Structures are given as structure tokens and as C-alpha cells.
Amino acid sequence: MGYSASAKFANKFTILHPDVVQAVATGGVNAFTILPTAKWDGETLNYPIGIADIKSITGSDFNDTAYKKVAQYIFMGENDTNDILQGYSSSEIQKMNSLAKKILGTNMMPDRWNNLQSIYNKLGYSDSIQFHTYIGIGHDLTNNVHADLIDFFTANSTSKITKINPHTNGR
């Protein structure tokens, strides 16, 4: 489980090593996770936007079969404004941010968040990944979120992927 910056680590680890991850929850992800595809809308998506160059980084191809076996719970608060794609100045990061915004959208909530979910569904991950938006919270971990995380990991303690019925309200 990771939240905010640690969610980025959990997401990256799962993309790189899906064969050793059974379930992962990531929250406060800035409506941006690594897309498990090499191309989208004619754009090549290199790591950490996508997986086009993953073999040159790891020495192995992306393991899509193993990735689809990982139960994932990805969540955001509807009022989250903690946007990682804002405020970076290096040219490399600016280029990455520009491509991410082109693919997913400039507005983090709800545009980029909705586009991210749509892309994952179009790529065929709707059986293994559950997205959820908590109403009434921003970049927060609340008691309801914690309860849902316990439910998620309990439900996914076997090799069967099980979606949970999370709280609607983040409070």
C-alpha cells in the first residue's frame, strides 16, 4: 500500500515486478499512474508514463499476464489538488508532464482521473483494477479509507481478485 509519493513507489514496483505482488492499493496518485501500454493515441509512452522502454530498463519485457493477476485498488479524494504534474522545472520532467497531460488531461480532478480509468478499462484491466473516488475529501487518509483498505486486503488475501464495496464518503 502506498499513499501520495509512496503510491508512486507501489505503482512502479507493481509494474516492474507484478510476478511478486498479489494485491496493491495506491491512493492520492495525482490521477496519474504508469499506463501498462507502450503506445496511446499514436504517442510512444516510455517509463514512467508507460512501458515502451521497459525492456531496456529491466532487461525483460513487461509481464502483462502477471500484471492482470494483481488485485489493485486505486483511489483519490474528489477534492484532491495535490498535482504532481504541476510545478516541476527541469526540461526532462516538463517533457514528461506535457505528454502525460496530452494523454490524460490537464485538469487532475475529474478529467485526468476519469481519463486514466477509461484507458485502463480500454486496455482490459477492469477485472483486476478497482478505481474509487471518495466524496468530500482532498489529499487525505481517513477512517473510512483505512476501513476500505483493510477490507480490500482481506478480500484479496487469496489468489482470487475480489472487488470491495467501499465507502462513498471519505469521512
CATH number at residue 54: 3.40.50
Instruction: Confirm whether 13 is domain-assigned.
Output: yes
pLDDT at 97: 84
> Which residues, listed in sequence order, are joined to residue 73 by a DSSP beta bridge?
25, 130
Instruction: Confirm whether 161 is domain-assigned.
Output: no
Instruction: Confirm whether 127 is domain-assigned.
Output: yes
Instruction: Give the closest residue to 146 by CA, choosing from 16, 48, 47, 25.
Output: 25
Three-class SS state of 141: coil
pLDDT at 23: 98
pLDDT at 94: 81
pLDDT at 61: 97
Instruction: Confirm whether 102 is domain-assigned.
Output: yes
C-alpha cell at position 81: 489538488
CA distance 54 to 59: 8
pLDDT at 88: 57
Q: What is the number of domains present in the chain?
A: 1
Would you list the DSSP string of 70-112? SEEEEEEETT----TTSS--SHHHHHHHHHHHHHH-S-IIIII
Instruction: Confirm whether 9 is domain-assigned.
Output: yes
CA distance 171 to 159: 31
What is the span of the domain harbouring residue 35? 2-155
CA distance 126 to 116: 12
pLDDT at 161: 98
Determine how many CB atoms are found less than 10 A away from the CB of residue 140. Answer: 17
Instruction: Confirm whether 66 is domain-assigned.
Output: yes
Instruction: Give the closest residue to 33 by CA, choosing from 104, 123, 124.
Output: 104
Instruction: Confirm whether 163 is domain-assigned.
Output: no
pLDDT at 84: 79
pLDDT at 130: 98
Q: Could you read off the pLDDT tens digit of each residue along the chain, which spans 171 residues?
A: 999 999 999 999 999 999 999 999 999 999 999 999 999 999 999 998 999 999 999 999 999 999 999 999 999 999 999 987 775 566 767 877 889 889 999 999 999 999 999 999 999 999 999 999 999 999 999 999 999 999 999 999 999 999 999 999 998
